[in-house]
A and B are shown apart, each in its own frame.
Chain A
Amino acid sequence: MQPEHPPDSLGEASHETIDQLRPPPVIKSGYTFASITDKISEIVQTRKTTWGWFVGFGVSFLLVMLLLFATSYLLTAGIGIWGVNVPVAWGFAIVNFVWWIGIGHAGTLISAILLLLRQEWRTSINRFAEAMTLFAVACAGLYPLLHLGRPWFFYWLFPYPNTMGIQPQFRSPLVWDVFAVSTYFTVSLLFWFLGLIPDLATLRDRSSSRVGRIVYGILAMGWRGSARHWYRYEVAYLLLAGLATPLVVSVHTVVSFDFAVALLPGWHSTIFPPYFVAGAIYSGFAMVLTLAIPLRAAYGLEDFVTMRHLENMGKVLLATGMIVAYGYLMEAFMSWYSGSPYEGYMMLNRALGPYAPMFWALIFCNVVVPQGLWLKRFRTNIPTLFVIALIVNIGMWLERYVIVITSLHRDFLPSSWGMYSGTIWDWATFVGTLGLFLALLFLFIRFLPMISIFEMRTLLPEAEVKDG
């Protein structure tokens, strides 16, 4: 049947409009399979290591040494060197634990949830966001372990046949935490490694040095890109994403149970799980932006991590920030609406008590500053975005500090009131884990492709099969 109106200029014009309405491409045009491969893998393989890398790695390595020193002293002297005491028995260790694990959540969100939602722009940021997750969870895991008092007995947390006549208390959220965090770390590692296998094969085949061929060859496990393998691979990857999605929600939910299941005013609240999960994604996206902005500039990856990526992350930051702000509002409202004098006092003490400056700083950092992201002008201005992300990172740390300390430091009876502040060893451990995180990240960008090469190839128009 003949079409009534043959395609005319009007039709073409409307096509152009549709093209304009489409979001900008997630990868700059003009790339081929080969040039994508070269561009990403040459950071690892052929380019000389920059002095900036050495300086960055050197500084973070020194901080790792500081962590080692602080930890050694902790093991010899005990946790008395930290500022924790009755009534504030949870100090920096728990603040940092929650902060770090929250940062990890963005990586899984980007790699799993955005994959299931078919958000193509995730492709160029998922690899290093996943690496960020792993390293952040590794830093997070250190804190509860060190806080045990006798960390060398950490394995008592796991159920195993023993002669002590006791097993872990499975009704305690602290034991749930052990399972949630170790599962989270394992699944993130699997997800990350699975994504790396085809790229490791690329590095193996591109490698000009014998060491490179052997090391990448062993890690790639003989991957050869067979169509059958790819078929199973895609199924397995999708299933892992499906498993990681509820997992990531569950992990911060369990972390929030550490607080919510306790009977303390300010902790015992049903809004904690969703509010913690949103806060985790919020801080995680802030950290992804904090890392992505310098990385893309340092390695010239502006074509892959485009302005669209940064802007989208800014939008996610704004959205999750609004959920977090809603959480703050509801906390305050419920403390009044509950009619409990202890809840009411806790809220007043938070806002007007000795830790009020930290509370208002957190409101400024987490609620006021991100409102700037409503404006496209700020979302597309890289320095502004970077500064906002940094402020949110600080704000989320303050939030955990305020939650942990203000609920503890004034107990139900004024006779057991006290003040808390971190000692130099608390700070040394915190700065030390920042160093550990950055050092691992520096090693990662030097030795592994920081963007998924094979997934970037699939974004090219040539990757589509045309019926011939």
Chain B
Amino acid sequence: MQQRPPIYGLLAEFSSASELVAAVHRAREEGYRQMDAYSPFPVEGLAEALGFHRTRVPLIVLIGGLIGCVGGYFLQYYLTAVSYPINVGGRPLHSWPMFIPITFELTVLIAALSAVLGLLALNGLPMPYHPVFNVPRFALATRDRFFLCIEATDPKFDREGTRRFMERSVPRQVSEVEY
């Protein structure tokens, strides 16, 4: 069994978004990779600073939309032309223009559902437990404080050395995150 690090990581608290972004840049330059930043609102450039540039959300939405589109059209075609054909005065069974509104609605419906469910799945939510909440001051991450957590799984992580490094960014405080 792999030895679990004694703590989850070190959490530094900042009072402004600019300080947090600067600290993340410094940590990246220092070589840290296993880290995450927390903020009360989306901070421009923060994810990029962490080296996080791409997300699969748009792809998931596209796939969902295509499924809704093709599935919605096929549903109508199959039910009206194949499964339950009803001859009304010889009118065409496959009357495609009349199928467009529902095809469109189902495209949007499935795309929107995949956007939200895809987002939650990629973010790993719902998550009933996460170690960062063990730091009482982390409650301010949804208020007005900005946090950087360098995780103990990072190869460069060292309980004392990393703490000293983090303190160089002049955070309000650095705390250890228990599991």
Contacts and interface: CB of A to CB of B under 8 A. Distances in A.
* Shortest beta-carbon contacts, A-B, top 4: A33-B144, A222-B127, A221-B126, A231-B47
B31 interface: no
Interface of B: 16-19, 21-22, 36-47, 49-50, 52, 55, 57-58, 61, 65, 75-76, 79-80, 83-84, 86, 95, 98-99, 101-102, 104-106, 108-109, 111-113, 115-116, 118-120, 122-123, 125-130, 132-133, 138-144
Contacts of A147: none
Contact of A202 (B58, B80, B143): B143
A236 B115 contact: yes
A147 B57 CA distance: 40
Contact of A227 (B50, B106, B122): B50
A22 interface: no
Contact of B108 (A37, A171, A246): A246
14 contacts: A170-B80, A186-B113, A205-B143, A222-B125, A223-B142, A229-B123, A231-B46, A235-B55, A236-B61, A457-B41, A458-B42, A462-B17, A465-B18, A466-B18
Interface in A256-278: 257
Interface string A206-218: 1000000000001
A462 B98 contact: no
Contacts of A187: 108-109, 112
A239 B118 CA distance: 12
Interface in A442-468: 454-455, 457-458, 462-468
Nearest to A226: B36
Nearest to B77: A170
B44 A224 contact: no
Interface stretch (A86-94, A176-184, A397-405): A176-184
A13 interface: no
A224 B144 contact: no
Nearest to A37: B143
A228 B143 CA distance: 18
A230 B130 contact: no
A222 B130 contact: yes
B109 A33 contact: no
Given A455-B41, A463-B17, A243 B111 contact: yes
A329 B10 CA distance: 68
Q: Which of B43, B102, B113, B122 has the most chain A CB atoms inside 10 A of its CB?
A: B102
- Helix, strand, loop or mixed for chain A's interface? helix
Interface string A21-58: 00000000000111001000000000000000000000
B46 A230 contact: yes
B143 A232 contact: no
A464 B84 CA distance: 60
Given A175-B102, A233-B119, A250-B104, A225 B38 contact: yes
A137 interface: no
Nearest to A458: B41
Contact of B43 (A171, A230, A236): A230
Contacts of A68: none
A222 B126 contact: yes
Contacts of A244: 108, 112
A221 B79 CA distance: 40
Interface stretch (A126-134, A159-167, A367-375): A159-167
Contact of A468 (B22, B39, B75): B22
B50 A243 contact: no
B105 A190 contact: no
A145 interface: no
B105 A179 contact: yes
Contact of A226 (B38, B112, B116, B118): B38
A332 interface: no
Contact of B58 (A201, A223, A235): A235
Nearest to B128: A222
Given A183-B106, A222-B125, A468 B18 contact: yes
A463 B123 contact: no
A171 B86 CA distance: 12
Contact of B44 (A37, A173, A232, A464): A464
B39 A250 contact: no
A165 B21 CA distance: 63
A140 interface: no
Nearest to A177: B101
A465 B40 contact: no
A435 interface: no
B14 to A, nearest CB: 11
A444 to B, nearest CB: 20
B42 A221 contact: no
Contacts of A176: 101-102, 105
B133 A224 contact: yes
Nearest to A466: B18
B92 to A, nearest CB: 10
Contacts of B126: 218, 221-222
A240 interface: yes
B105 A180 contact: yes
Nearest to B110: A183
Given A170-B99, A170-B102, A462-B17, A225 B142 contact: yes
Given A223-B125, A239-B115, 13 more contacts: A166-B86, A170-B80, A187-B112, A205-B139, A218-B126, A224-B38, A225-B141, A227-B37, A227-B50, A229-B125, A240-B116, A457-B144, A464-B44
